[in-house]
Amino acid sequence: MSNFTKIIKTTPITDDYDISNTVLGLGINGKVLECKEKKSGKKRALKVLHDSIKARREVELHWRARGCIHIVEVCSVSTTS
């Protein structure tokens, strides 16, 4: 996972996105909130995960599958710690 960790942003996510309280969905590992990318103005979905081995694995696998037409696009990955 060392190469993957190089792309994780450590700046506050609010630097890049306006996050709303609108919940788009709930999953086993976290909730999905509506947000807006400040740079482009595009609406995005933000999946909020609590740090755990399972969550890190989910993010890594999703990142590896980026570009697949059957997988939701990952725009960025951020951490608060």
Domains of the chain, CATH where assigned: 2-64 (3.30.200.20)
State the amino acid at position 69 in one-letter form. I
Give this prediction's pTM: 0.77
Are the C-beta atoms of 32 and 47 separated by less than 8 Å? yes
Band (pLDDT 50/70/90 cuts) for residue 58 is confident
Q: Which residues contact 49 (CB under 8 A, 6 or more apart)?
A: 29, 30, 55, 58, 59
| Closest alpha carbon to 56 in 81, 19, 25, 33 | 81
Over residues 56-66, mean pLDDT = 87
Q: Round the average pLDDT of the chain to a whole number and report it.
A: 86
pLDDT in tens, 3-39: 666 678 888 999 999 999 999 999 777 899 999 999 9
Count other Cβ atoms within 10 Å, centred on residue 17: 19
Are the C-beta atoms of 11 and 2 separated by less than 8 Å? no
